[in-house]
Chains A and B, each alone.
Chain A
Amino acid sequence: SQQGEEDPQALSIQEGENATMNCSYKTSINNLQWYRQNSGRGLVHLILIRSNEREKHSGRLRVTLDTSKKSSSLLITASRAADTASYFCATGVPTKAAGNKLTFGGGTRVLVKP
């Protein structure tokens, strides 16, 4: 079973527009990570936000975390055609046995049209 659920499942926007996607999760977490995956390829780490953080920025990316609502959002500003990919949130609950086993959502498929 998957801990996180992304919303929407798919998103189509024009180049230059902003893209926002949300992630909800069920259990307490220590951190939440966002990854990007181009078709048929491995995952690229985008950003990690700790449970005691509320907002984090990295270039054109902005991530928020609301632990009271068990939700996170990823905003991509000024989107480019190269941002076309699937985006996944993953929650990590570090334990001695499991390291930082990640539980992924189903992903949001983003299409940026030139």
Chain B
Amino acid sequence: DTGVSQNPRHKITKRGQNVTFRCDPISEHNRLYWYRQTLGQGPEFLTYFQNEAQLEKSRLLSDRFSAERPKGSFSTLEIQRTEQGDSAMYLCASSKAALNTDTQYFGPGTRLTVL
């Protein structure tokens, strides 16, 4: 049990709908990451927070995607006007900042299916 939780675990939605996912990191971790994983591939980085500040966003994160971490604790990832290509597993990870040893602990993921 890594301690990172994600909700919901599964989401099925119709194309064009908005969806929001939540990630609760390990409590003392100040860093939070979102990744996306499609079938048969490794995860790809989407965005990163240190405390409440969003410090980097991947080019994969189109303007339909927005992520927040308002109080530096839990984070939400919202996808607006979903497309079938958004179907994937969305993974959240957290870590405690440490020089050169930033081990990330992953949650179970939210599997999104866009019909």
The count of residues in chain A whose C-beta lies closer than 8 Å to any C-beta of chain B is: 30
Least CB distance from A72 to B in Å reads 14
Least CB distance from B5 to A in Å reads 10
Bound together, the chains give a CA A50 to CA B102 distance in angstroms of 10
**Are B105 and A104 neighbours in the complex by a CB distance under 8 Å?**
no
**Are A42 and B108 neighbours in the complex by a CB distance under 8 Å?**
yes
Knowing A99-B50, A102-B45 touch, does A41 contact B100 (C-beta < 8 A)? no
Kindly supply a per-residue 1/0 record for chain B positions 71-115, scoring 1 wherever the CB is within 8 Å of any chain A CB and 0 otherwise. 000000000000000000101010101011111111111010000
A73 within 8 A of partner (CB):
no
**Are B48 and A99 neighbours in the complex by a CB distance under 8 Å?**
yes
Which chain A positions have C-beta within 8 A of B97? 99
**Are A42 and B109 neighbours in the complex by a CB distance under 8 Å?**
yes
**Which residues of B are in contact with A by a Cβ distance under 8 Å?**
2, 4, 6, 31, 33, 35, 40-45, 48, 50, 55-56, 89, 91, 93, 95, 97, 99-109, 111
Other 4 A-B pairs with CB < 8 A, given A94-B100, A102-B45: A40-B111, A42-B91, A43-B106, A48-B103
**Which residues of A are in contact with B by a Cβ distance under 8 Å?**
2, 4, 30-31, 33, 35, 40-45, 48, 50, 88, 90, 92, 94, 96-107
Chosen A-B contacts, 12 in total, with CB atoms closer than 8 Å, are A4-B42, A30-B100, A41-B108, A42-B6, A42-B107, A42-B108, A42-B109, A43-B93, A48-B103, A50-B100, A102-B45, A106-B42
